[in-house]
Amino acid sequence: MALTPRIAIDAMGGDVGVRVMLAGAAMARHKHDGLRFILVGDEERIKAALDSHPNLRAASDIIHTDGVVSGEDKPSQALRKAKSTSMGLAIDAVKRGDAGGAVSAGNTGALMAMAKLALRTMPGIDRPALAALLPTLGDNDVVMLDLGANTDCDATNLTQFAVMGAAYARTAMGLERPRVALLNIGTEELKGTDEIRDAAAMLRAAKGLPMEFTGFIEGDKLSRGDVDVIVHDGFSGNIALKTIEGTARFVTDLLRRAFTSSTRSKIGFLISRPATELLRHHLDPNNHNGAVFLGLNGVVLKSHGSADAKGVANCVHLCAELIEKDITRQVTEDLANFRSGAAA
């Protein structure tokens, strides 16, 4: 039976804050009228923004707080004021069971620290991981994790990430047996660090899991669509993610410059506009906005700080889907099966 999604929104997070966060939530509710919200932040500013979104206002409760986690706050600083900030109170709503998930566009490190302290990690998980869906040339997106929550990972961490990532791919993309690979400097079995090779051996030996371990994948194949889940430590993953985002901006900026360089180029742009619009849509980060902290006893999603209303709406949709499909239960069951298989 599907769970009814009620989502706590950190209305003060992100580069723009209340206006965009609420516009995104309203956009999500227009497509999913069963959604309900807890809006956390400055009540006066929230009510003013809700005047433009009566549909959202009718489905929302407000928790007032003046406290905000800034982008410059260290995780330790954010933790000390967790109970008085919009981010901390949104996560607390999940902990209390008042909300099925939380969405914030605020400080990633602070969000990770608060979520881990409040919700704790699942049994059998040493560290939660930050996972996101990224576009590929294949039929499906690809799940990448960890994207920065853990800079140092051992083989056990990587295998746990693989199990969680596969469960996420089944939930978010409807795949029965996601193809899972470890990011490495080569595809040969002798390549890479001891941790990566040991993790590969553990995954090859795992039995009975609804996933297919395909071995190693190199950085130039991340967007090919050859696999469904790519696993790596947070240090490598964050670099890979920023490189992908930077390359997308480079391509779009280069095309813009090329198409405005001369009259002939402008005419060429008009002729090729359908193709360039398709490319722009594919590379737009707002279409893939929303990274989830896997391995916690609750659903918490990080929206990109610069996301527009469409991006926030996509993040809210993803949060609702993970609540409805009970991602926490699926990950817990897969981890239990993995441990029993390893013990056998």
Give residue 300's Cα distance to chain centre: 9
- Give the pLDDT band (50/70/90) at residue 1: very low
Strands 36-41 and 129-134, by their bridges, are unpaired
Task: Give dist(CA 147, CA 128) in Å, integer.
Answer: 11
Amino acid 17: pLDDT:
82
Q: Is residue 329 over pLDDT 80?
A: yes
DSSP 69-95: --TT--HHHHHHTGGGBHHHHHHHHHH
Express each pLDDT in 173-214 by its tens digit.
Answer: 889 999 999 999 998 988 889 999 999 999 998 877 889 999
Backbone angles phi, psi at 11, to 5 degrees: -70, -15
Does CATH place domain 1-122+295-324 in 3.40.50.1000?
no
Q: What is the pLDDT of residue 160?
A: 94
126-291 placed in CATH 3.40.50.300: no
Residue 320's contacts (CB-CB under 8 Å, 6 or more residues apart) are 5, 7, 28, 32, 35, 101
pLDDT at 15 over 80: no
Instruction: Give residue limits of the domains in the chain.
Output: 1-122+295-324, 126-291
Say what the pLDDT of residue 89 is.
96
Report yes or no: 102 and 301 within 8 Å, Cβ to Cβ: yes
Q: Give me the mean pLDDT over the 40-65 stretch.
A: 94
Q: What CA–CA distance (Å, rounded) separates 284 from 276?
A: 12
Q: Do domains 1-122+295-324 and 126-291 have the same CATH topology?
A: yes
Per-residue pLDDT at 290 exceeds 90: no
The burial class, CB within 10 Å (0-12 / 13-18 / 19+), for 143 is buried
List pLDDT tens digits, range 54-94: 999 999 999 999 999 988 888 898 899 888 999 999 999 99
DSSP 6-53: EEEEETT-SSS-HHHHHHHHHHHHHH-TT-EEEEEE-HHHHHHHHTT-
Are the beta carbons of 155 and 198 closer than 8 angstroms?
A: yes
Q: 225-280 pLDDT, tens per residue?
A: 999 999 999 999 889 888 887 887 787 777 777 777 777 666 665 665 565 555 55
> Among 55-59, 137-141, 309-313, whose mean pLDDT is lowest?
137-141
Tell me the Cα Rg of the chain. Answer: 21
Q: How long a stretch of residues is the chain?
A: 344
Instruction: Identify which of 245, 277, 241 has the alpha carbon closest to the alpha carbon of residue 259.
Output: 277
